[in-house]
């Protein structure tokens, strides 16, 4: 039986890269998206093709849900339960940047609330629901197939979890909160055999960074990152695939930097 994974925000960008990395490993996939159904369907078709090319047969489903909304999160989990029966991997990837990069002294409460609801509260309570479900199905799974008793939850955070950008403080606060969620859930879920990880991307080429491409082109060329190139959704997908393949069995609460070395202090 294939392992199963739910990836939030997998229609485009990093989430799509994660789905494309898991497909050839033989994971059945649930592609969540917020609005862009055509992109989600395209990702699903590309995942099926990638799996087939690797000699695997997988099932791929798409489900629209705004992870900031409690009712839509509940519907997403209920869809996952009826489609797959149980879940081996949750990847909390969906996230947004502020619609306006406003200076800290001008930034609005509306933007703050929206960013926190989508980037922090949504993943927190989605994880709560999924973790309860994983725990509930743990004994049955261990009986039926011991190799599947190790489940995982991954949060896609950001270098903004520890880097102060004064023109998008709301985003930074939301990602710093995600880093704490990882520690909390890792500590709480370890005894249930559920590993929790933070994958922390740096500057990745997606629609999110499109509007600031020229600025980042310059910064990267000037040496902002020791590895002087943009990151790609595939870079992040490969880190998630390593975790999904059980390559870090004695680690939980771990931060995997996928940032071209941005986090290094150099002199």
Which residues of the chain form contacts with ligand NAP (CB under 6 A)?
8-15, 32-36, 39, 66-68, 93-96, 118, 156, 158, 201, 203-204, 206-209
Residues 6+ apart with CB under 8 A from 45: none
CB closer to ligand NAP, 67 vs 240: 67
Annotated active-site residue in 33, 171, 197, 216:
171
The DSSP 8-state label assigned to residue 58 in this structure reads: -
Beta bridge partners of 89: 5, 152
In whole angstroms, how close is the CB of 119 to ligand NAP at the nearest point?
6
CB closer to ligand NAP, 66 vs 141: 66
In whole angstroms, how close is the CB of 215 to ligand NAP at the nearest point?
12
Instruction: Decide: 86 and 141 in contact? Cβ < 8 Å.
Output: yes
CB closer to ligand NAP, 38 vs 54: 38
Is 171 in the active site?
yes
Distance CA(64)–CA(73), nearest Å, equals: 10
The residue among 124, 127, 121, 120 whose CA lies nearest residue 6 is: 127
The DSSP 8-state label assigned to residue 55 in this structure reads: T
CB closer to ligand NAP, 96 vs 124: 96
In whole angstroms, how close is the CB of 221 to ligand NAP at the nearest point?
17
Residues 6+ apart with CB under 8 A from 33: 9, 10, 11, 12, 39, 40, 62, 63, 64
In whole angstroms, how close is the CB of 37 to ligand NAP at the nearest point?
7
The residues that are catalytic are 171
């Amino acid at each position: 039986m294939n392992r199963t994974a739910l990836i939030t925000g997998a229609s485009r960008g990093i989430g799509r890269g994660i789905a494309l990395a898991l497909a050839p490993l033989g994971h059945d996939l649930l592609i969540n998206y917020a609005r862009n159904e055509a992109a989600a369907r395209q990702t699903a078709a590309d995942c099926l093709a990638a799996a087939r090319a690797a000699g695997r047969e997988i099932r791929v489903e798409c489900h629209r849900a705004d992870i900031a909304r409690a009712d839509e999160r509940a519907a997403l989990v209920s869809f996952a339960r009826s489609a797959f029966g149980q879940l081996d991997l949750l990847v909390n990837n969906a996230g947004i940047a502020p619609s306006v990069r406003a200076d800290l002294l001008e930034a609005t409460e509306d933007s703050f609330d929206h960013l926190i609801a989508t980037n922090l509260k949504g993943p927190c309570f989605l994880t709560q629901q999924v973790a309860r479900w994983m725990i509930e199905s743990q004994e049955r799974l261990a009986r039926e197939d011991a190799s599947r008793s190790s489940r995982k939850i991954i949060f896609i955070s950001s270098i903004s979890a520890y880097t102060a950008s004064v023109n998008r403080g709301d985003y930074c606060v939301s990602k710093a909160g995600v880093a704490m969620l990882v520690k909390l859930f890792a500590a709480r879920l370890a005894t249930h055999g559920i590993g929790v990880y933070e994958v922390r991307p740096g500057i990745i080429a997606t629609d999110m960074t499109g509007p600031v491409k020229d600025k980042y082109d310059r910064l990267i060329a000037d040496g902002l990152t020791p590895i002087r190139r943009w990151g790609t959704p595939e870079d992040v997908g490969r880190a998630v695939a390593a975790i999904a393949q059980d390559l870090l069995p004695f680690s939980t609460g771990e931060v995997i930097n996928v940032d071209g070395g941005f986090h290094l202090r150099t002199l």
